[in-house]
Amino acid sequence: MQAQMETVKRVENLPIGVGGAAPPERLFSRASHRNDTCIPVGPARIGAPNFVVIAGPCSVESRDQMMETADAVKNAGAGLLRGGAFKPRTSPYSFQGLGEEGLKLLAQARMRTGLPVITEVMDTSEIDLIEAYTDIIQVGARNVQNFSLLKKLGRTRKPVLLKRGLMTTLDEFLMSAEYVLASGNEQVILCERGIRTFETATRNTLDISAVLVLKERTHLPVIVDPSHAVGNRRYVGPLAKAALAVGADGIMIEVHAHPAQALCDGDQSLRPEELDRLMADLKLMAPLFGRLM
Amino acid sequence: MQAQMETVKRVENLPIGVGGAAPPERLFSRASHRNDTCIPVGPARIGAPNFVVIAGPCSVESRDQMMETADAVKNAGAGLLRGGAFKPRTSPYSFQGLGEEGLKLLAQARMRTGLPVITEVMDTSEIDLIEAYTDIIQVGARNVQNFSLLKKLGRTRKPVLLKRGLMTTLDEFLMSAEYVLASGNEQVILCERGIRTFETATRNTLDISAVLVLKERTHLPVIVDPSHAVGNRRYVGPLAKAALAVGADGIMIEVHAHPAQALCDGDQSLRPEELDRLMADLKLMAPLFGRLM
Amino acid sequence: MQAQMETVKRVENLPIGVGGAAPPERLFSRASHRNDTCIPVGPARIGAPNFVVIAGPCSVESRDQMMETADAVKNAGAGLLRGGAFKPRTSPYSFQGLGEEGLKLLAQARMRTGLPVITEVMDTSEIDLIEAYTDIIQVGARNVQNFSLLKKLGRTRKPVLLKRGLMTTLDEFLMSAEYVLASGNEQVILCERGIRTFETATRNTLDISAVLVLKERTHLPVIVDPSHAVGNRRYVGPLAKAALAVGADGIMIEVHAHPAQALCDGDQSLRPEELDRLMADLKLMAPLFGRLM
Amino acid sequence: MQAQMETVKRVENLPIGVGGAAPPERLFSRASHRNDTCIPVGPARIGAPNFVVIAGPCSVESRDQMMETADAVKNAGAGLLRGGAFKPRTSPYSFQGLGEEGLKLLAQARMRTGLPVITEVMDTSEIDLIEAYTDIIQVGARNVQNFSLLKKLGRTRKPVLLKRGLMTTLDEFLMSAEYVLASGNEQVILCERGIRTFETATRNTLDISAVLVLKERTHLPVIVDPSHAVGNRRYVGPLAKAALAVGADGIMIEVHAHPAQALCDGDQSLRPEELDRLMADLKLMAPLFGRLM
C-alpha cells in the first residue's frame, strides 16, 4: 500500500520516467498481488470464484424500454444491469444516447430491480455526473488508451470496467489498467470484447485465449462481452458458455425486450426468453468449473 | 449424387466457369445437405453428436517416442492418433520429418493400439504413398489453397481433414473444402487452428466463433486444434473445453511422452497425465452439451 | 454553408438520428465539395498543389533541445514545426510530456523561427490551453474515435490534424473527420500513420494506398507520417518520397538534434543533416508530380 | 559456392536439423552475398540498378487476347510479359486457366514480341511442363510455403519469382526463398503483393515498407505487384511510382487490351494507353532514383 502510494505520487507529479529509474512493480501483476481480486458491487461479486452476468440494452432509449428490459434481466437472475447513456458512435448522425436523461432512467431501473448498474463514460468532463448515477463506470474500447480519462478515473471511488480496444495488445491493455491502478483506484475489471482481424464473418473476432493470458498475468477480474465480439444474437449464447468454460469471471451481454426496435445493436441483443435459457444453461455448467452463480 | 457427378465432370473438364452459367449449388452448404455429416473412421465417428479427440505427437520422431505416446493416447481414451511424417517447416534447416519411415512407425502404432491414424500430406506426389498408410489425410494450414492438392485428394477414398490457413476467411475455407467435394470425395473434416492477428501473446488467435459460423453454413464436421492456436501447453486444456462448449465436433491436440525432448512443438504438447485429466473433464462436460464421447 | 449550419444544429441537439431521416450529405465528401481544400496556416499552405513538410521532435524536452531542433527544421526549409507537450504513452511510468511548460517552449520556438507549430491534445479539458499556444491542434491515433474531443474541436477556430488510428478503417476515419466538420470547423487535415497488422518487422504497416482512397473520397488534405509508421530512421526518407510519389499532400516527420538522447522515439527521428538531404531530394521530385514546395 | 553445395546436400538428405548443429549462413542474406544480385533474363535485367516492368494479362484467355495484349506490352516498352495458364482460384467453379494451351499461346507471344515470359506453377507435377515454355517460373502467394514445390524449383535452372503470401511475415518470406536457394537455384526474385489486414477499402494492403526491410536483409531483387495489392486500376499507377520511389527493383502489373471482357481481375488491369502513360512517367522518374529503364 505504501509502495502504491509512492507510485501514485510519481504519476501525478509530471514529468515522470525522466530519471530512467527501474520501472516499479506493476500493480496489475500477480507478482504484486497473488490472489484473485474480487470486487463487491452491491449484492454482486465480480471476481473468482464467482461468475457474474451483466446484462441490459446497448442504450437507454426510453422509460418503457428500460424498465421492461430491466425486469427481464432481473427475472433471468443476472447480477448487474447495463445501459448506455452516452454512446460512442462512428457517425455523428447516429443516435448519440439520451445523456443525463438516460442516467436518470438507469437509476430508476436500479431502484426498481435492486440491481447495481454500469454505464459508459466518454470524456473526463462527464465523470462527476456519471459517478453520481452509476455503480460501475465503463470505459469503452475506443477509449482504452484515453490516458487522461484513465488517470482521472483512478481518482474516483467507483469500480472501473475497462474494455479492450479493437487493436489493443494484451500488454497495452494491462498498462491501461495500470493507469487507473497507479492513480489510486484498485477496482478495475477487464473485459475482452473481440479484436479486429481480417475475418468479416463476425463483427469482430473474440480472442478467447486472451482470458487465459490475462488471468495468468493479473489478479484483476476478467470478463467477456460476446455480444460486441460477434454482433449476432445466434452466436452469443454458445460464446458465453465458452467464456465460462475457458475460465472467465463473467460475461456482459446485450439484452433488449424488443430487439427489432432497438436504436442500436439490435441484431446482437438477446430476447428475454433467450437470456432465461442462457442463464439456466450457465447455472448447470458453473459447478463443473468451480464457479458460483 | 447425379448432380454431384456432373459437378465433378465440370471441374475436370477445364476450363470451367467460362460460360458464365450460374454457380452450382455448393456441396458444402446446408442447403445441399441439411443434416450433420458424420464420418466413420474405423471405430471412431467424426461428426455430431459425437465429440472426437484426436491426439498424438507433432512429428513421428522414433519408434520409442511414437509407441510410448501412442500408448498414452490410447490409455487416455482418445479416438484417433495423429503424427506427422512429412513436416512443413518455415526453415529448410529444421527437421523435415522422417518421411516414409515415419509412416511405417505410425502404421505400427495403429496396429498396436487399434486407433485409426491421421497424417499430413504436403504434395500431390506423396498422395499415393500416404493414402496407403493412413486413415485420414490431413492438409495443413499452409496448403489450404493448394488447389492442385485439393483436387487430387478429391479423387482418393480417404477422409480429408482440412486445416484453416492463418489468413483464410471462412468463405475461402469453405470453397477449399468445395474443391475436394466437387472432385468426388464427400468426406471432409474442417479444422479451426488459429488465425494470424496483431496479438503476439499467443502463437495465433483461436477464432472460436468460426465454429459457430461454419456449423451454421455447412454440414461438414468442424473440429478445433487448440495446440497450434496458442502454442502453450497451459492454455490447451481450457481451450479444448471452450471448443466443446461452443459446439465443435471434436479437438485435435498434440501430446508427447517427453515434451522437453520433442523435435518440434514441445512447448504446446500435453504430457500424458495432462491428457488423462483433460479427457476426464471433457467426459464430465459432454452430456451437458448433448455430446457422446 | 446553410446546409452545414443545419447539420451542426442537429449534432448539438441530442439525440439525433432517432427520427430515421436520411443521412445528410457528408461534409468530407467530394460530392459536397469538389475541389481540394487548401488550408493556410501562417506562411504555410496545407493542401494540393502544395507538398508540406512538418518536422520536429516527438516531445518538447528542454529549451536547448527544442531550439536546436527548431533551428534545424527551419534551416532545412520545412514548413511547420511539431513538438509534443502532452504525450500519450502506453505506460503510466513513461515520460508524459512537459505539459504547459512544453507549450511555452514550443511558442518560443515559433517566435524564433517564424514557423507555425502543431501539438497534440489529449483531453477536452486541455483544448483552451493548447489552442492558445498552437497553430494546428493534433488529435493522436489513440483518440481518433474520442468523439467528445472531436465535437469540441469542431467548435475551435484552429485547424485540426487528425491521425488515423492503428485500427481505424478509412470509412471510420472519414466519419471521425465528419464529427469535427459537422460541429462547425471546416479545417481538417487527415494523416495516415501506419496501421497494425501481423507484420512486426516494422513498428506498424504504412498503408500507402490509403492516400489514394482518401484523396478520391474527400477534398480534405491528406498527409503521411512515415516516422511512426515504421519506427526506424533508415526507412523514413524513402517512405517520404513514396508519399510524394503516390499523391499525398505532405508529410509529418520526427527530427531530433541528438536522437540518441531523445526521451521518446529516438530510433525513428532523423538527424538534422538527414532532414537536409531529404528536403533536397523531395524538392527535386516535386515538379514531376506537379507539387509546390 | 562450396559452402552452398554442402547446404544443398544437407537439404536433400532428409532428415536434417536433427543433429542440432548451428544453422548455416543464410544464403539470402547480405552477410553471405554483399552486393545486389542482378538476374539476366533474355534481354532483360532484374536487379539493381535496373528497374524492370513486367506486364501482361492475369490469364491467357485466347490467341487474340494474348497477342493484342502482348503487342501493347511490347509497344509500351515493358521488359517482360506475364500471363497465367494455371490459375489458382478460390472457387472450383471459376475459370481455372487454359493449361498447356495457354503455355503455347504465351510462347507464341514471346516469339512475336521478343519479350521473355513469366507464368505461374501450382504443383510439382507441372514443373517440367512449365519450365519448357517459360523464362521465369512464378510461385503464387498461396504457395509461398508450399515447401515441396520450392525444393523442386531449387533444382530447375529457371529463375523463380516468389510472391509473398497474404499472411507471410518477412522472416518467413525470406526462409521460403532460402528453400529454393538451398536446393541449388540462386536465381530468386521476391515480390511484395499486398498483405491481408482489417482494411477492406483496397483488396489487400500494399506493405510498401517491406521493400525497405527486404532490400536491407537480402541481396535478391525485390519487386512490387500493385495490381493485386489494391485490386483497382485507378490506384495502380501511383503505387507503381511509389514502388520506384521507395527503392524497389521493378514492378509486375496486369494489363489487358479489353479489361471489361477479362475472365479474371479485369478491375485491376490497366488499359494499353494507361500502361503507355505509366511507362513514360516511370522513365522520367528513374534517373532521380539512380535507376536504369
Neighbours of A41 (CB within 10 A): 22
Q: Which among A256-260, C32-36, C170-174 has the top mean pLDDT?
A: C170-174
Closest-CA residue of A relative to D199 is A198
pLDDT tens sequence across D40-49: 999 999 999 9
Would you say residue C164 has pLDDT above 70?
Answer: yes
Query: Can you give the pTM of this predicted structure?
Result: 0.93
DSSP notation for chain D: -HHHHHHHHHHHSSS-STT-PPPPPPTTBTTT--SPP-EEETTEEESTTB-EEEEE-SB---HHHHHHHHHHHHHHT-SEEE-BSS---SSTTS----THHHHHHHHHHHHHH---EEEEE-SGGGHHHHHHH-SEEEE-GGGTT-HHHHHHHTTSSS-EEEEPPTT--HHHHHHHHHHHHHTT---EEEEE--B--S--SSSSB-BTHHHHHHHHHBSS-EEE-HHHHH--HHHHHHHHHHHHHHT-SEEEEEB-SSGGG-SS-GGGPBPHHHHHHHHHHHHHHGGGGT-B-
Report yes or no: C42 at the A interface, CB cutoff 8 Å. no
Report yes or no: B145 at the D interface, CB cutoff 8 Å. yes
Would you say residue C56 has pLDDT above 60?
Answer: yes
Amino acid in the structure at residue B28: F
Report yes or no: B198 at the C interface, CB cutoff 8 Å. yes
Would you say residue D270 has pLDDT above 80?
Answer: yes
CA distance, residue C113 to nearest chain D CA (Å): 31
Report yes or no: D247 at the C interface, CB cutoff 8 Å. yes
Q: What is the mean pLDDT of residues A181-205?
A: 97
pLDDT band, very low/low/confident/very high, at D265 (cuts 50, 70, 90): confident
Mutate one of C26, C29, C142, C195 to test the A interface: name it (highest A CB count within 10 A): C142
Neighbours of C49 (CB within 10 A): 13
Provide the β-strand partners of residue C282: none
Would you say residue B240 has pLDDT above 50?
Answer: yes
DSSP state of B32: T
Q: How far apart are CA D148 and CA D152, in angstroms?
A: 6
Establish how many alpha carbons lie within 13 A of residue B254's alpha carbon, considering only the half-sphere containing its beta carbon. Answer: 26
Structural contact between residues A215 and A30, judged by C-beta atoms closer than 8 angstroms: no
> Is D56 a domain residue?
yes
Would you say residue B266 has pLDDT above 90?
Answer: no
Would you say residue B17 has pLDDT above 70?
Answer: no
Q: How far apart are CA A27 and CA A4, in angstroms?
A: 8
Q: How far apart are CA D163 and CA B145, in angstroms?
A: 14
Torsion angles phi and psi, residue C60, rounded to 5: -75, 120
Q: How far apart are CA D232 and CA D236, in angstroms?
A: 7
CA distance, residue B242 to nearest chain A CA (Å): 4
Put simply, the answer to whether A147 touches C16 (Cβ < 8 Å) is no
Structural contact between residues A129 and A110, judged by C-beta atoms closer than 8 angstroms: no
Q: What is the mean pLDDT of residues C122-135?
A: 97
pLDDT of residue D276: 98
pLDDT tens sequence across B142-174: 999 999 999 999 999 999 999 999 999 999 999
The mean pLDDT value of chain A amounts to: 92
CA distance, residue B25 to nearest chain A CA (Å): 20
Would you say residue B85 has pLDDT above 50?
Answer: yes
The mean pLDDT value of chain C amounts to: 92
Put simply, the answer to whether C200 touches B197 (Cβ < 8 Å) is no
Amino acid in the structure at residue D241: K
Q: What is the mean pLDDT of residues B188-215?
A: 98
pLDDT tens sequence across A112-148: 999 999 999 999 999 999 999 999 999 999 999 999 9
Peptide bond into B49 cis (omega under 30): yes
pLDDT of residue A170: 98
Report yes or no: C197 at the D interface, CB cutoff 8 Å. yes
Mutate one of A166, A167, A198, A200 to test the D interface: name it (highest D CB count within 10 A): A198
Give the B:C interface size as CB pairs under 8 Å.
Answer: 7
pLDDT of residue B143: 97
Put simply, the answer to whether D92 touches B18 (Cβ < 8 Å) is no
Q: Report the candidate in D140, D146, D138 with the shortest Cα–Cα distance to residue D106.
A: D138
Torsion angles phi and psi, residue C290, rounded to 5: 70, 30
Sorted by sequence, the CB contacts under 8 Å of residue D220 that are 6+ apart come out as D28, D37, D177, D188, D189, D190, D214
Amino acid in the structure at residue A10: R
pLDDT of residue D56: 98
- Please state which of the ranges B126-135, C234-243, D16-25 shows the lowest mean pLDDT: D16-25
- Here the CATH number for the domain that contains residue B220 is 3.20.20.70
In chain C, positions 87-106, which contact chain A (CB-CB < 8 Å)? 88-99
pLDDT of residue A20: 44
* Biggest alpha carbon–alpha carbon distance for chain C: 58
pLDDT of residue A23: 55
pLDDT band, very low/low/confident/very high, at A25 (cuts 50, 70, 90): confident
Put simply, the answer to whether A182 touches C143 (Cβ < 8 Å) is no
Structural contact between residues C264 and C87, judged by C-beta atoms closer than 8 angstroms: yes
Q: What is the mean pLDDT of residues B215-232?
A: 97
Would you say residue C257 has pLDDT above 60?
Answer: yes
C175 burial (CB, 10 Å; 0-12 / 13-18 / 19+) is buried
pLDDT of residue C24: 63
Interface partners of chain C (CB pairs < 8 Å, 3 or more) are: A, B, D
Q: How far apart are CA A171 and CA C141, in angstroms?
A: 18
Q: Report the candidate in A258, A223, A289 with the shortest Cα–Cα distance to residue A54.
A: A223
> Is A30 a domain residue?
no
- Please state which of the ranges A175-179, C117-121, C133-137, C261-265 shows the lowest mean pLDDT: C261-265
Put simply, the answer to whether B146 touches D147 (Cβ < 8 Å) is no
> Is D40 a domain residue?
no
Q: How far apart are CA D179 and CA D91, in angstroms?
A: 29
> Is C202 a domain residue?
yes
A252 membership: H or E segment, kind and range: strand A250-254
Q: Tell me the residue ranges of DSSP E strands in C30-79.
A: 39-41, 44-46, 52-56
pLDDT tens sequence across D86-143: 999 999 999 999 999 999 999 999 999 999 999 999 999 999 999 999 999 999 999 9
Report yes or no: D199 at the A interface, CB cutoff 8 Å. no
HEC letters along A118-171: EEEECCHHHHHHHHHHCCEEEECHHHCCCHHHHHHHCCCCCCEEEECCCCCCHH
Torsion angles phi and psi, residue A185, rounded to 5: -105, 115
pLDDT band, very low/low/confident/very high, at C265 (cuts 50, 70, 90): confident
Report yes or no: C200 at the B interface, CB cutoff 8 Å. yes
pLDDT of residue B5: 33
Would you say residue B57 has pLDDT above 50?
Answer: yes
Residue that has been written with the C-alpha cell 473476432 in this structure: A205
Chain A environment of B231 (Cβ under 8 Å): none
* Biggest alpha carbon–alpha carbon distance for chain D: 58
Q: What is the mean pLDDT of residues C115-139?
A: 97
Structural contact between residues D192 and D140, judged by C-beta atoms closer than 8 angstroms: no
Q: How far apart are CA B281 and CA C7, in angstroms?
A: 59
| Beta strands D39-41 and D44-46, pairing class | antiparallel
> Is D138 a domain residue?
yes
Q: What is the mean pLDDT of residues C40-53?
A: 98
Report in angstroms the alpha-carbon separations of B292 from A266, B49, B114, B243: 35, 6, 20, 14
Chain D environment of C198 (Cβ under 8 Å): 167, 169, 195
Number of domains chain A is built from: 1
Would you say residue B190 has pLDDT above 60?
Answer: yes
Report yes or no: B197 at the A interface, CB cutoff 8 Å. yes
Report yes or no: C198 at the B interface, CB cutoff 8 Å. yes
Would you say residue C249 has pLDDT above 90?
Answer: yes
Torsion angles phi and psi, residue C227, rounded to 5: -65, -50
pLDDT tens sequence across A197-229: 999 999 999 999 999 999 999 999 999 999 999
> Is D10 a domain residue?
no
Q: What is the mean pLDDT of residues B274-283?
A: 98
Q: What is the CA radius of gyration of chain D?
A: 18
> Is D258 a domain residue?
yes
Report in angstroms the alpha-carbon separations of A273 from A77, A112, A282: 12, 20, 14
Mutate one of C168, C198, C205 to test the B interface: name it (highest B CB count within 10 A): C198
DSSP state of B288: G
pLDDT tens sequence across A81-101: 999 999 999 999 999 999 999
pLDDT of residue B25: 82
B92 burial (CB, 10 Å; 0-12 / 13-18 / 19+) is buried
In chain B, positions 48-87, which contact chain D (CB-CB < 8 Å)? none
More confident site: B127 or B19: B127
Q: How far apart are CA D122 and CA A45, in angstroms?
A: 58
Structural contact between residues C235 and C282, judged by C-beta atoms closer than 8 angstroms: no
Put simply, the answer to whether B16 touches D93 (Cβ < 8 Å) is yes
Report yes or no: A14 at the B interface, CB cutoff 8 Å. no
Q: How far apart are CA A78 and CA A280, in angstroms?
A: 11
pLDDT of residue C11: 37
Would you say residue B14 has pLDDT above 90?
Answer: no
pLDDT tens sequence across C192-240: 999 999 999 999 999 999 999 999 999 999 999 999 999 999 999 999 9
Set of cell numbers at residue A142: 475506443
Domain hosting A58: range is 51-286
In the three-class reduction of DSSP (H, G, I as helix; E, B as strand; rest coil), residue C199 is classed as: coil
Provide the β-strand partners of residue B38: none
Set of cell numbers at residue C117: 507549430
> Is D13 a domain residue?
no
pLDDT of residue B1: 32
Neighbours of B275 (CB within 10 A): 26
Would you say residue D17 has pLDDT above 70?
Answer: no
Mutate one of B167, B196, B198, B204 to test the C interface: name it (highest C CB count within 10 A): B198
D32 burial (CB, 10 Å; 0-12 / 13-18 / 19+) is middle
- Please state which of the ranges A205-214, C4-13, D50-59 shows the lowest mean pLDDT: C4-13
